[in-house]
Chain A
């Protein structure tokens, strides 16, 4: 903003923008090094070229290896399992996703696999009503793997196209809870060998560098095929996913931009990297 030349002060400001967007020290240092070599090679000659340069680099990291939606199972139902730590937006995302598939004319079923948190089942049931999706549930305290088993059976019997399984929020550091997640996954795979066809890890955009540990450890428990980045309607930028993507290569598939049923968008790397620098 209003810089005549690329000097140290200008570069410090760029660094500050990246750090304040949660890009993290390591990834920021890497990007700053790229900028410096860009300046050396005369790819960047004026301050106003720097933002586009960085945006291109970041978009490239985020777009790298993006697979076409390999979501759909050869034979329905397609099973989607949704995982993540506490309060990130799993259940809400399931409501939105369910609605998205319903609008495509698909038959959607939801499974209330969070049998731990108070009223988690009621919450999913309300989303079921909103989207017109049937919800398979048991009761608070029952075994989530049993719920998943029931749900897969029902989805097969009732010829559902999509089954989305909610799970309780759990911290990636709690070994017993991560074991529980593996068990849920095993039960699903036993019923349908290539299921879950998609395992979505939900990350909250307000989260800082811890998101990398979350992705790493959830990935170890249940191979994550995509990330949903929620709460991007706030002031947090979610920059941690740049480093996360570079390290773990899991694509971001969706973003959450509000609490409403339509507040889900496909992830677009260019838009995301532009937004990192918005209002700066």
Chain B
């Protein structure tokens, strides 16, 4: 399970801390050094780690904590608070527009899991009695349109595609018209994977955004991403404005630092977690539960 490695490390540290009666500043420093290592090993961005540790130290070495009857308990509570905060507090959902269709656009790096997630989201909305339309906005990757069409078939949901030469902006625009005329109340636009530094393709996303004004732009992020996650998320957010993040591949043993980092640098909440390749494998993300799980509380 994702975060397991991080959870083990942090819990070991806290066990040691609990074993002590009074805490000295050196005890807290030593614990924080271990927390820092654990976070870095979990791929949390090193700048995020620095800030995080700084905040905890500041709160932990205060009078109240050090002179309380259960100093270790207090330190752990501070870490728990800060970690929950770092992960975004409470659960965030996607906005459903009062004037359908609600338009959702999925964006992200190559191979992050956008197309699969589009299918997963569509299934989850279908189960909530919505009428989703999938839109094949990736005209570049070999067989990307076909991939979405296969998923649409599996889900028995329509897929809007224009196979001959239309650009993604036109495709998105026509898809909205189609949704109106066919009473589809949710539009999920798949887009091609792209590097955040590819200006031309980032411009394409902006044009889609300006044309169809999505209610939700969701950044799909692979949970195994390392330090680069913050560059990617920051750039997508600055260029495009991101409403939420979907973390994928949480069914592996990634330590999940990308999750913590992306939220910290962009402020964008993590809304869903991809837990497998199958279309049922999408869960909503609960930062508070996740933080407690990591800390074993």
Co-complex (A, B)? yes
Q: Given the complex, which residues of A lie within 8 Å of B37, measured CB to CB?
A: 25
In this complex, how many residues of chain B approach chain A with their Cβ under 8 Å: the count is 47
User: Counting CB contacts under 8 A, is B142 at the interface?
Assistant: yes
| Contact indicator B43/A123 (Cβ below 8 Å) | no
Q: Given the complex, which residues of A lie within 8 Å of B253, measured CB to CB?
A: 171-173, 210, 213
| Contact indicator B143/A119 (Cβ below 8 Å) | yes
| Contact indicator A87/B222 (Cβ below 8 Å) | yes
| Stretch from B62-70, B76-84, B86-94, B146-154 at the A interface | B146-154
| Contact indicator B227/A21 (Cβ below 8 Å) | yes
Binary per-residue interface labels of chain A (217-236) against chain B in the complex, 1 for a CB within 8 Å, 0 otherwise = 00000000000000101111
| Contact indicator A210/B251 (Cβ below 8 Å) | no
Binary per-residue interface labels of chain B (144-168) against chain A in the complex, 1 for a CB within 8 Å, 0 otherwise = 1011111100100000000000000
| Contact indicator B252/A171 (Cβ below 8 Å) | yes
User: Counting CB contacts under 8 A, is A267 at the interface?
Assistant: no
| Contact indicator A173/B41 (Cβ below 8 Å) | no
CB of A201 to closest CB in B, whole Å: 14
| Contact indicator A209/B255 (Cβ below 8 Å) | yes
Residue ID in chain B nearest A208 by CB atoms: B226
CB contact between A171 and one of B143, B196, B228, B249 (< 8 Å): that residue? B249
| Contact indicator A116/B226 (Cβ below 8 Å) | no
Q: Given the complex, which residues of A lie within 8 Å of B148, measured CB to CB?
A: 118
CB contact between B150 and one of A86, A119, A231, A233 (< 8 Å): that residue? A119
| Contact indicator A210/B252 (Cβ below 8 Å) | yes
User: Counting CB contacts under 8 A, is B31 at the interface?
Assistant: no
| Contact indicator A22/B226 (Cβ below 8 Å) | yes
- Chain A 107-151 interface residues, beta-carbon cutoff 8 Å to B: 116-120, 122-123, 125-127, 140
Q: Given the complex, which residues of A lie within 8 Å of B228, measured CB to CB?
A: 22, 206, 234-237
A-side interface size class: 35 or more
CB of A190 to closest CB in B, whole Å: 28
Give the complex CA separation of A140 and B143 in angstroms.
Answer: 14
Residue ID in chain A nearest B44 by CB atoms: A208
Give the complex CA separation of A171 and B251 in angstroms.
Answer: 8
Give the complex CA separation of A122 and B257 in angstroms.
Answer: 34
User: Counting CB contacts under 8 A, is A244 at the interface?
Assistant: no
- Chain B 95-111 interface residues, beta-carbon cutoff 8 Å to A: 109-111
Give the complex CA separation of A234 and B146 in angstroms.
Answer: 26
User: Counting CB contacts under 8 A, is B195 at the interface?
Assistant: yes
| Contact indicator B258/A208 (Cβ below 8 Å) | yes
Give B contacts to A, CB under 8 Å: 37, 40-43, 45-46, 109-113, 115, 119, 140-144, 146-151, 154, 195-197, 222, 224-229, 231-232, 249, 251-255, 257-258, 277
Q: Considering the complex of A and B, which 7 residue pairs feature the smallest CB-CB distances, nearest first?
A: A208-B226, A87-B111, A208-B43, A118-B150, A236-B228, A126-B142, A119-B147
Known: A172-B253, A208-B226. 18 other contacts (CB 8 A): A86-B113, A87-B113, A119-B144, A122-B146, A123-B141, A123-B142, A204-B222, A206-B229, A206-B232, A208-B43, A209-B42, A209-B255, A210-B43, A210-B253, A231-B111, A235-B195, A236-B228, A240-B226
